[in-house]
Each structure stands twice: as structure tokens, then as C-alpha cells.
Amino acid sequence: MVRKRAFLKKDPEVIFRESQALKTLKKGPFITQLYGTFQSEDYLYFAMEYLSGGDLCKLIDDADVPFDITTLRLFAAQMVIGLEYIHSKGIIHRDIKPENILLDGVGNIKIADFGLAAQNVFGNAMTKGCKGTLFYMAPEVFLEMDYNHTVDYFSMGIVLFIMASFRYPFLKDEEDRFDFDLRSSICCTSPDYTAEMDIMLKDFLKKLLCKSQIRREKLVKNLREEPLFIQIDWKDVESGEARPPFHVEPPQEKPRDTLTVFEITYSEAKRKPRLRAEQQQLFKSFSFASEGW
């Protein structure tokens, strides 16, 4: 639920970028599903699939120790499947991070938040623009160079590294966050791999976190064939039969035996002026309903 007025101050196209990407990715594996969009005089609404497992950020925060290789392998496989589908539709996510990876009630991932996505980037086409979250950006993004879909794999590599070690790959010390040039670190510093890290995972991460986009594109071309995935049955993963080895605690809610209707009233004295007709026209094509809703 988002306020229309907030987008009038920025770029109304942002809200359409999110809805258009989700429409394009309907029924895609490991991607949050959009059922429909609708609007009122003041608000835009997204009707999304309900995911009770929270997000990956909370899962990491709640974990006592780094994730084991079995969990990391399945998580990585689901990410590969999801990103392959996204990229096949000409979309680059550009903001892969723990907060944008949601979990269903079982623990399967769902990639979310396509508000910064680049669209219609097919084949050898490139795009540009410093979009995303700096800590998870590939070097070519914040250097404002032309780039392709492999920036999402770089971000995925950072997420996996954090899950495997509970540390950020490019800053040697947590205190460096405040005085170290993060951009320089991402461009020039080698990831600080731990001695305990699984060898196959380490080799996989080196390919994802390759700083050269040209080399990275070659290295990620056949990710399903990586040694890390030798124990993965891709058909089982894609069908949802491969269940995550960890338990996801759903949020605690009271049983709902009755429907509660909330009525929201506005004080006319405090209410801002209504949006003008020409402003409402900016949102005229927003509403839609999927086939199954």
C-alpha cells in the first residue's frame, strides 16, 4: 500500500516498473507473485502472495552459527534458478540483498522488490545507472559503466559469503565501515575467505565475486554445472520437492475466528487537497488482476 502523493514528488514510473516486472515474471520459480493491483483516490495497492517466513536478513540475524554447506547449496541453487528466469525475461534486479529475499512457510526463497529493476535487457544488450544498495553493488554499477545481468550474481555472491561466514567479504574489520573507502574495497580488495569455508563453495564464490565483468560473464555461464551443485537434483529443486534443511518460525499471530473491519476516517481540516485530475491520469493504467485472482 503506497501513497500516490509520494510518487508525484519523485518519479511515478518507479511504481510501474515494479508492477510491470512482477507481471512479466508471473509464475516464475522462486519469485514473489503478484495477484493484482488496484487503487483508491489516495493510494495504490499491491495484492501479493503471503510469505510467512520473513526475510533472509532476519534468518541471518537469528542464526547462532554460519549456515552449513547443505543449506547454502540449496539456497544457492534456488537463487540460480530464480535469477536465470528473471534474466531470461530481460530483467536485471539490481538490488539483490538479504532484505529482498523473502521466505515462504517452509523456507524456500522468494526474490522480491523489483522497484529498481532494469527491463528489456536481452541478449548482449547492456544498461547503466547507479541503482541498488552500495554494500551489494558490483564495481561496474557504482562506477556508472555499462553492465549486464551478471551484476545480480555479484550481489548473490556477497549474500552467500555473509551466510557462510557472518562477515562482509570486502571489509577486513567491522570498524572499517565508517572510515574505509567502501567503493575502493569492492573494486580492489580480495574477499577475505576463511580457512573453514568449504572448498567448492569458495571456488563458486570466487566466480560470482570476480571484479571483471567480462571474466565474470564467462565464469557464470553454466552455474548449474558447478561442483558445488553435484548433489543437487535440479528437477526436485524446481518442483519444490527439495525442502530446506532448516526450520522457519512463522510470526506468532492470534487465531482469526472472525473478520474485523477497520474503518479509516480522515479529518477534513487536516486532509490535504485532492489530487488533480491530470495527476490521477498518471496512474490510470496501474490496476490489473491476474488470471487466477
Query: Is 64 part of the annotated catalytic residue set?
Result: no
Can you give the pLDDT at residue 48? 92
Distance CA 158, CA 139 (A): 12
**Structure confidence at residue 182 as a pLDDT band (50, 70, 90):** confident
Measured from the Cβ of residue 229, the count of other Cβ atoms closer than 10 Å reads 19
The chain-wide mean pLDDT, for the chain, equals: 88
**Structure confidence at residue 269 as a pLDDT band (50, 70, 90):** very low
Give, in order, the Cα–Cα distances in Å from 243 to each of 177, 202, 238, 278: 36, 24, 11, 50
Would you say residue 267 has pLDDT above 60? no
Distance CA 93, CA 91 (A): 6
Distance CA 204, CA 148 (A): 20
**Structure confidence at residue 178 as a pLDDT band (50, 70, 90):** very low
The stretch 49-59 carries a mean pLDDT of 92
**Structure confidence at residue 243 as a pLDDT band (50, 70, 90):** confident
The torsion angles phi and psi of 102, rounded to 5 degrees, stand at -90, 165
Domains, the chain, ranges and CATH? Answer: 56-239 (1.10.510.10)
Residues 6+ apart with CB under 8 A from 167: 161, 192, 194
Distance CA 93, CA 214 (A): 19
Sheet hosting strand 43-48, strand order edge to edge: 2-3, 43-48, 34-39, 288-289
Would you say residue 198 has pLDDT above 80? yes
The stretch 64-81 carries a mean pLDDT of 95
Residues 6+ apart with CB under 8 A from 198: 69, 72, 164
- In the chain, the N- to C-terminal Cα span, in Å, equals 18
Catalytic annotation, pick one of 95, 104, 113, 152: 95
Can you give the pLDDT at residue 221? 95
**Structure confidence at residue 30 as a pLDDT band (50, 70, 90):** very high
Q: How many CA atoms lie within 13 A of 174 on its CB side?
A: 3
Would you say residue 251 has pLDDT above 70? no
Would you say residue 116 has pLDDT above 80? yes
